Structure 1
């Protein structure tokens, strides 16, 4: 049986205090498990379990004939307001599931995002977690100069960066590959996923015999909304020295 102690604590918190916030969404939301759609709904909710980003909670009535949703045990400390459950499609299942029986989440089901093979908003795959409908990304061409250095060594210089501005986060500067000094970069095996930008790959930086892991990232095939950054490189502002029009940023 899965160790669901974190789900138990989450259910106890949500049934006692409610979510940070929640909103119904008009988006069609589907989840793929074992090659079949486990649910298909236009009545999902964005639920913020914490202030940072939402998850999708789906109605218990939205599960398809290919899926079996079975409650396994009531969760202590919720007064019957939440149950752990198992979601199965064919011979594949997950027990990282909560069914809620109390307002404001009554009849909604939380499935751990990573437990499904793929989530979809309408016909678009989403990664890592749902996008926040109150958050946006702007990618702007700029002629402000960008210089990146580390340990006194210049790593990149550009006068044609892309400024990626994401709500509540610091600016990121995406640079053309010809702006970078490649002799200091080596490929990393790291991959990460962003709901707004897609799958990122990384480079390490090696200077004066010291290697700095995953200091640079790039997107080969970004999401449609972030397409302009394809092939550009971005240095981790917090870990390098960056000058914008000659003014050094704080890390």
Structure 2
């Protein structure tokens, strides 16, 4: 049965899960096979994870493609789950789906997103728009605002950017990101890499790495050539990880924030 609480609000389970029904039409595919097709998805937030996942009524899932997992993981998701392998071709996808133990979510199945964990389904759609990495959080805002503030960026004491024409990107739960015109960035000090990422709020990003000396993480600089419409002001601009460079805003040095990205930013 789809979950329809009387009031549209986030609810909590004894296991510490937060959940909320969504009105979006969600589909998930593995290759050309549609595995999930649901008009009654439920968003679930696990403890200590900053982004939600979807869980779906069993009737909206191709359960004929699921098999009990041969080697289920431990501690990957909240509670004592039942895991399933997905059989859509010559090679099954291990632990592609699972169930939460919460009574509120009984009769529902969750799926991994390929670009998030490297397994699971590889194409997801909300209505007719493909969504990457993870579902969008309806309680999160992402605002891109042109500004005239003075932004300088330094790496190891070298000024690598200086502008009065930034676009400030405010994203719930993350530090402000400063997107800068390329003409105001010393791009000759960086070299492009093959690294690419996707974001459900902003689109697909390309990256550059610092050419100079010092212990600077790779892929420190990025840009969205074709951002999603909601953040179109950042198109073609470049941004640095605040966590690993020195940013001076209107003459004031900003502290380096600690974020979920900090641990992965290693030289």
Normalised by the size of structure 1, how large is the TM-score? 0.83
How many correspondences in the alignment? Answer: 232
Asked if 1:249 is matched to 2:246, the reply is: no
Asked if 1:232 is matched to 2:234, the reply is: no
Structure 2 residue matching 1:104: 3-state secondary structure: helix
More strand by share: 1
Counterpart CA distance in 2 for 1:23 and 1:195 is 19
Contact 2:217/2:244 (<8 A) preserved = no
Q: Which range is displaced more, 170-179 or 213-222?
A: 213-222
Counterpart CA distance in 2 for 1:181 and 1:247 is 21
Q: 1:210 and 1:101, CA in 2 relative to 1: closer, same or farther beyond 3 A?
A: closer
> Which protein shows a greater Rg?
1
Question: Residue in 2 aligned with 1:5?
Answer: none
Q: 1:220 and 1:72, CA in 2 relative to 1: closer, same or farther beyond 3 A?
A: same
Question: Residue in 1 aligned with 2:25?
Answer: 28
Q: CA deviation at 1:101?
A: 6.7
Deviation per residue, 1:169-207 (Å, 9 max, x gap): 110000011111122111122122222112211111122
Contact 1:206/1:212 (<8 A) preserved = no
Q: 1:247 and 1:42, CA in 2 relative to 1: closer, same or farther beyond 3 A?
A: same
Residue of structure 1 aligned with 2:59, choices 32, 42, 61:
61
Q: CA deviation at 1:69?
A: 3.0
Equivalence map 1:16-165=2 (5 Å)? 17-51=14-48, 52-64=50-62, 68-71=65-68, 82-91=81-90, 93-96=92-95, 97-100=97-100, 103-114=103-114, 115-165=120-170
Counterpart CA distance in 2 for 1:239 and 1:227 is 25
Equivalence map 1:192-211=2 (5 Å)? 192-208=197-213
Q: CA deviation at 1:100?
A: 4.8
Normalised by the size of structure 2, how large is the TM-score? 0.78
Counterpart CA distance in 2 for 1:166 and 1:211 is 24
* Structure 1 stretches lacking a partner, 5+ long: 1-15
Question: Residue in 2 aligned with 1:222?
Answer: 227
Q: CA deviation at 1:83?
A: 2.7
Q: 1:23 and 1:151, CA in 2 relative to 1: closer, same or farther beyond 3 A?
A: same
Q: 1:105 and 1:144, CA in 2 relative to 1: closer, same or farther beyond 3 A?
A: same
For the aligned residue pairs, the C-alpha RMSD in angstroms reads 2.6
Contact 1:86/1:95 (<8 A) preserved = yes
Counterpart CA distance in 2 for 1:206 and 1:101 is 49
Deviation per residue, 1:98-133 (Å, 9 max, x gap): 135751110110111111120111111111111111
Structure 1 residue matching 2:103: 3-state secondary structure: coil
Asked if 1:172 is matched to 2:170, the reply is: no
